[in-house]
Structure 1
Amino acid sequence: MQQSSKKILSILACASMLVTASVTITNNSFSAKQTQTVKAATVAPRSYGVDVSAYQSSSVSSSAKFAIVKVSEGTSYRNPKAKAQIASAKANGMMPMAYHFALFGANSTQAVAEAKYAVASAKAYGLTSGSYIACDWETGDGNNVNGGKSASAKAIIAFMKQIKASGYKPLLYSGASLLNNNINTSAVTAAFPNSLWVSSYATMGRIDTPNFNYFPSMNGVIIWQFTDNWRGLNIDGNISLLPLTTSSSSTAASSQAPSAGSVTAKKTVMTKSKIYNSEGVFTGRYATTYKTYNIYGGAVMINYTSYYRVGSNSYIKLANIDGVKRVLKSSTTIFNNKGVTTSTSPVASGTTVVTYGGQRTINGVKAYRVNKNRYMAASAF
C-alpha cells in the first residue's frame, strides 16, 4: 500500500461477465465504460478493487468496482490527487473509499487526532458520509508497530471509533504478519466485526487473479489485497469477500452485510453441495444441483470460508454457487458428461473461466464443471 514500504501482500482486477459457448468467462479488457452501470452504493462479494495514492494517476479508470483512495497521513499530509481520484471513481461507476496512513503506533490520543484529520480530509475531497475509511497501520514513515499487541489494538480501535462517530464506516488495513503478531486483532474484530482489509501476496510480481490457496486464514476479513502489481499495471489489486455497502444512516462495520432475515437474492447451486450449520458443521443434508435457492442476507465467513445462508441454520459454500475463477494455461474445448465436445471452437488460453465444485473424472479425464452439463479438462488450468 505505502509505495515506499511494500509488503509481500495483495490486489485484484474486476472483470465484466458474459456467457460464451456455454461457459462463464471474464473480459480482461480495461475500460472505464464497463463500469458505468455499477451501483456505487453496493459491491457484491468476489468483486475486484484497486487502491491508489499520489503515486498513481488522478484518473481511476479501470474495470474494478471499488477504489480505495489515500486521503491523508498523520496530521499534516493530504494526498494532492485524492479529490480527483475520488471524483474519477464516482464518474466510472466505482464505489469510492478512503484510507489514512497511520503514524500513531500505539498512542490512542494521537489515534483520535489522526482519525479526525482523516475525516476532515475525506470530506474535503468529496467522500460522502456512510463511506468506508480504512486505517492503514503498517511499517513506514515512522509508525511504530512494536508498541505491544494490546496497546496497538487499543489505539487502532480508538481511531475506528472516531471514524464511526463521524458518520463513516471504519476498516483496518494491515499485512497478515502484523495482524497476527503485532496487533490483538481479535479485540479489533470484536469491536468491529468483518472490518479487516488484509494484505497477503502469493508471490511478488504480476498477479492477474487471486489464488485462494494463499488466502491468509483469519476471521473478520472483508477485503483481501492479493498483489501490488495487478495485471502488470503496477497498481494494488483487491477482492471483496463480503458485500460492501455505503449508507448515510448506518456507519457500524458490523452492519455492512444485508439483514440476515431478508431474502436478498435467488441463486442457483451449480454442483452437489453439502449443507452446513452456522458453526460450519455438516448437517447430513445436501443441496440439489441446479436448484435455485433464496439467499438470506449477504455472504458470511464461517471458519475462514465464505457461505450463503439458504434457510434456517442452513449454509452452502459460496464457491458452489458463485464459482471459482481460474485462468486457462492452454486452449481447450468444452464437453458434456459423456465426454462429447459441445463447443464449436476452443476457448483460448489466458481466458478466465468460472468453475464449480471439485474435479470429477469423465471418460478418464479430470474435469471442472463450467456450466450445466458442461466441463473443461482440469489440465488446461
Structure 2
Amino acid sequence: MKRVILIVLDSVGIGEMPDAHEYGDMGSNTLGNIAKARGGLHLPHLQELGLGNIAPIQGVSPKASPKGGYGKMAERSPGKDTTTGHWEIAGVVLERAFPTFPQGFPEDFIRAFEKRIGRQVIGNEVASGTEIIQRLGQEHVQTGKPIVYTSADSVFQIAAHEEVIPLEKLYGICEIAREMLDGDLRVGRVIARPFLGSEGNFYRTTNRHDYAIEPPHKILLDVVKEKGLHVMAVGKIKDIYAGHGVTDHVPSKGNKDGVDKTLAFIKEKKPGFIMTNLVDFDMLYGHRNDVENYAKALEEFDGRLPEILDLLEEEDILFITADHGCDPTTESTDHSREYVPLLVYGKKVIPGTNLGIRPSFADLGATIADYLGTEALHNGQSFLKELI
C-alpha cells in the first residue's frame, strides 16, 4: 500500500533566489536569518533528516549520514504567494504572476462590488490584517461596512466581525467577490478574514476561508484521485486548489491541530496522498515579523516529527517542504522570494541522498505522481530514481 505524506511548512524559505532583487527581497533567508537572530535553532529531528546539509543554519549542523534525502527547490513561476507556490508543487507553472494591487482595487470595481453586496466597504488599501482590524475594526462594528484590503500578494481580503456579519454572510460576500474578480482583476485568492473582540482588542479567528481560482489543467491531486486513491487534505489545502482532487478534507486550527489531523489520516491507513499545510509560521509569525515565536513554532514542529516518523509504514514516503519565504527579520511583512527546503524520508528512501537544487517545485509533484503510479503531470521532472 503506497502512501505519500506531504507537509508544507507555510513560508519556511531557506535563502533568496537569484531573482530576489526583482521582488525587493535581497538578503531574505527565513530559516537562516531566524537562526542568526535567535542565536541558533534547536531542530534535532529535522537535522537528522538533513536540514543542516541544505544550507547553513545556526544551531542545525550538517550530518555526515542524514537519515533522509535533502535538497532545495527553486520556484519557476513568477511570484511568491501561496497559490503560486502550491500550484507549482502540484504541477502548474505560471507564465505570468497573478495581479497585485499596491494602490488598492480600482474604484469602479469597488463601487460595483458594493452594489452587488448591498453595503459600502471601508479600507481598500494594502495593509497588515492584524493592523487594519485594530485601526478600522470599530468603524466596521458601528457601520456594518466590511473591511477590504490586500497585500503584496495577489489577494482580495474581506475582514468582518463575526457578531456584525455572521460567517455565512461573510462567505457569501466573498463568493460574490470571487465571481467578480476576473480578467485583469483575477487575483489568486479571495480570503474571508473573520474576527472577534472589542475596540483595542480585536483578534482574527480561525474561521478564515480562501476562495482560489480554478487551476488551468489537471494537477497532482486530480491524477491521484483518478487513480482511485484517496487524497486527504489538511488545513487550507482544499481551498488553495479549489477542491480539485480532494476526497477527504479536514480544516485545521493552527499547527498543532494540523499535525494532529495529519497523524489521524496516517492512522486510517488509506492508500494515496496526504497533503498538509501548516499555516501558523506564515500567518501568525512571518507576516508579523515575530522572530521568537516563529522560531518556537519551528522547534515545536520538530518536536512532533518523531510522532509522524513512528507511524510510517514500509511503503510510505514523507516529504517536507515550503511554498515561499516570509522572513520575519526584514522590514517587510510580506512573503519573500526564496528557495524552499526539500526533505524526504521513508524506509525505502536511500539515506543521505543529495537532491541538489531542483529547478522547479513541480519536480516534487512529478516525483509523487511517479511513486503513486499516476499519469504524468504537465510540468516537473521526477527524482524518484535518485531516492529509492
Question: When the two structures are superposed, what TM-score results if normalisation uses the length of structure 1?
Answer: 0.33
Higher relative contact order (CA 8 A, sep 6+): 2
Of Structure 1 and Structure 2, which has the larger fraction of its residues in strand? 1
